Structure 1
């Protein structure tokens, strides 16, 4: 077939517009394009364009001169670009021989990864050379061998599998809640009237024994009169013994111990009983109003001790397997950036929320300065570290297809073997290896996708050849 030649004004315009850089770049990248040495203009007819007399990549559609006055050389038709292979073009195997490679070539494989091989040099339908496979490169086990130069160019790096402590943490949101064991309610056990209320409001901090209000109750006054009468009786040699029943009646009406002791000292029945705070804490609710009538069971005050609070966090269902009671937790309140509160998981509630697919866990936190308030949003980090070292490799070494996980084991001397593995916990950039890799074996941690593609190609070629040998 005759060479296909770019001729005419269109070719000249293309060359003049693109410049020498375009031609040089394409000659470098596409081996099938070459420049034909131009013949003298006198013997080939009219020129189609003009080029620099020194061979520099400068062209012109009209006659032109250089800066020193020399004329550009005319290029006639027939001395333009040709797209056929030059006679002196070398194949990939010849190039390898020219470089002094004395390895024996076993066969040639398709450059696009198709299951097609050839015993002799060959080109595919696009004109690309088949790639030679040298003796010893195809082991039949899916492994691949790379030359030191290719390993350096692709940036292949390996790291040994060694026992490590996998540090993992579960980050969860939550809220601050009151400790249910530190909440007290003040209510009457008999019909009463509020005589006086102390200067205590919702949100006030109170101490145990601090007066909150004065209460008058007919039932309490009757029980108090009976008790005082008993201990004041002249016929009673041991008033404490005989007045034990009356005193118990006052206790059953929830009269504060301080008020009972005051009666015993004064031997007088008071008109109103002073009611005090049962614990240190914050007044969360005040319903007592002077002069009001309080029915039995009606809440007049609610006091909570907030020196210890709960952080109730929502743990995702997928993380429940690594969360245990007693694990340390670091809590950060969004209201106090940079500050942390330490605690431990005390309870994991035995129920999963149907809508959010989370389970609640409870963390007890010390709150000495009362910075953590009920219903405050927090972020918690649960430390699920296991102090026992496990065999681990970098996460970047794992080739995960979804259905399987594999790594490339560095066998040395440029040989890499793909191997399926079973993984465990992840954390801190490492992953536990339960099966597939032994202690001390090196695995590829960078450029492993390139090697894996090469390995898969070899395995596909082997499977194709085995299938072709069957009848």
Structure 2
């Protein structure tokens, strides 16, 4: 063959290889095999030995790894997660982990191949590749030269279900989880305020008019012990009662017990009465002792003042135990009971939350805030918890088992809450749900999903968007109507 003839043959072979490449992808032929075939034909035309051509017999790297999925032997956009056969009995080809996976949409088959496929799947219509509301009964291209995408029988469900290929599932990172029936480990956070225990507050006042002679060295905020002296006073009424009592003691009269009772009614300490009865001598100055250990909340006594019966001289509180009053929303009160475990945290205390239990649920709802009050009793031996401190209360809600799914499985648009159900074999369907409480990364499903259902826990928005698109296109090309092609 002459040099000109050989050059012409080479050009023809190159052109043929380009045409073959367009259809090779549809038949599963790799680029490497195409190059080898072209080089072998060129070697024959040039009169060379095909074995001497570089790469003609170069072995391809064997694929390794586990089988990811199976693909159609003709390169059609059909995949399977298990072994299967075509309509004419040919087996699907396995795709191993080391092979170059094309996770994007496969090239659209030619009209001849689509017609050959209709023995197993029927093409209903073709939809716009950009998601526009445009359908066609025959293959066509849009203004940018993109082929319309075929919609097969079974893919245009009115419920918005969608079928996703295994490759696309891998690329989008779709994960699923099972809806379980179990108690929801939920916590309710509520603000709280520290208050003094009402049962541990004492008011020191007089039961008769008296003059304050001396006041002990105690001030507001001072810590005192039970029995410590507070004031000494002189009261004409108490002095007269003491004289009568002393007379009855000396004469051993029958009115002795009555006189003692009168002194006790006037607030004279019992030890003072016993001392007078023992020594046989009365006293003018009467000491008043602290009735309990605690902190002085208020001091009203001043030396030399005249105090009338009932006037408050001191207020003392025992702070070894304090209350935390928490306010919770009205709707949450039905889930809380006396004895429910709580954790109380305080700003500035770095040793962690203090455990406790709900002691009392108040019977009223605040008309302004629509909240109810809970009382939690906490020990305070070191006095670190002070009245009016702010607290953060975590209430451990339990209750009966409920259906729950991961929080990421619920799509909340504001108008609706939806989960994506996994129907198996790559099919998914959006399902409206009603949600309840949240806790520990889970959310309660009141209605819409049952225990044991499989839901998508990640990449939910991608599937939901494709499902909405399919539902819209199905509405445009409803069964029984023929989609019209746009010019």
Partner of 2:204: 186
Task: Tell me whether 1:152 sits opposite 2:152 in the alignment.
Answer: no
| Cα offset, 1:319, TM superposition | 4.3
Task: Tell me whether 1:459 sits opposite 2:485 in the alignment.
Answer: no
Q: After the TM superposition, which of the residue ranges 427-436 and 146-155 deviates more from structure 2?
A: 427-436
The TM-score, its normalising length taken from structure 1, stands at 0.72
Gaps of 5+ in 2: 1-105, 483-487
**Residues 223 and 249 of structure 1 are in contact (CA less than 8 Å); yes or no, is this contact kept in structure 2?**
yes
Partner of 1:312: 325
Partner of 1:421: 433
Task: Tell me whether 1:377 sits opposite 2:395 in the alignment.
Answer: no
CA 1:125–1:248 in 2, change beyond 3 Å: closer, same or farther?
A: farther
Where 1:93 maps in the other structure, the secondary structure is coil
| Cα offset, 1:155, TM superposition | 1.0
**Residues 176 and 377 of structure 1 are in contact (CA less than 8 Å); yes or no, is this contact kept in structure 2?**
yes
Render the CA deviation track for 1:38-95: whole Å, top value 9, x for unaligned. xxxxxxxxxxxxxxxxxxxxxxxxxxxxxxxxxxxxxxxxxxxxxxxxxxxx972339
Render the CA deviation track for 1:5-41: whole Å, top value 9, x for unaligned. xxxxxxxxxxxxxxxxxxxxxxxxxxxxxxxxxxxxx
Render the CA deviation track for 1:305-355: whole Å, top value 9, x for unaligned. 00111122333456445444332222222132233323223334413252x
CA 1:454–1:372 in 2, change beyond 3 Å: closer, same or farther?
A: same
| Cα offset, 1:199, TM superposition | 2.6
Partner of 2:219: 201
Distance in 2 between residues matched to 1:260 and 1:384, nearest whole Å: 57
The TM-score, its normalising length taken from structure 2, stands at 0.70
Correspondences of 1:52-451 after superposition (within 5 Å):
92-94=108-110, 104=121, 105-234=123-252, 236=253, 239=254, 242-317=255-330, 319-349=332-362, 350-352=364-366, 354=368, 358-386=371-399, 388-451=400-463
| Cα offset, 1:407, TM superposition | 1.3
**Residues 156 and 471 of structure 2 are in contact (CA less than 8 Å); yes or no, is this contact kept in structure 1?**
no
CA 1:289–1:348 in 2, change beyond 3 Å: closer, same or farther?
A: same
CA 1:224–1:467 in 2, change beyond 3 Å: closer, same or farther?
A: farther
Distance in 1 between residues matched to 2:416 and 2:224, nearest whole Å: 63
**Residues 353 and 359 of structure 1 are in contact (CA less than 8 Å); yes or no, is this contact kept in structure 2?**
no
Distance in 1 between residues matched to 2:150 and 2:414, nearest whole Å: 33
CA 1:438–1:317 in 2, change beyond 3 Å: closer, same or farther?
A: closer
Q: After the TM superposition, which of the residue ranges 178-187 and 316-325 deviates more from structure 2?
A: 316-325
Where 1:284 maps in the other structure, the secondary structure is strand
Q: After the TM superposition, which of the residue ranges 440-449 and 289-298 deviates more from structure 2?
A: 289-298
**Residues 93 and 121 of structure 1 are in contact (CA less than 8 Å); yes or no, is this contact kept in structure 2?**
no
CA 1:155–1:347 in 2, change beyond 3 Å: closer, same or farther?
A: same
Distance in 2 between residues matched to 1:303 and 1:342, nearest whole Å: 27
| Cα offset, 1:418, TM superposition | 1.9
| Cα offset, 1:442, TM superposition | 0.9
| Cα offset, 1:150, TM superposition | 1.0
**Residues 93 and 132 of structure 1 are in contact (CA less than 8 Å); yes or no, is this contact kept in structure 2?**
no
Distance in 1 between residues matched to 2:259 and 2:112, nearest whole Å: 113
Distance in 2 between residues matched to 1:341 and 1:96, nearest whole Å: 75
**Residues 172 and 314 of structure 1 are in contact (CA less than 8 Å); yes or no, is this contact kept in structure 2?**
yes
| Cα offset, 1:375, TM superposition | 1.9
Superposed CA RMSD in Å reads 2.8
Where 2:247 maps in the other structure, the secondary structure is helix
Partner of 1:76: none
Gaps of 5+ in 1: 1-89
| Cα offset, 1:360, TM superposition | 3.6
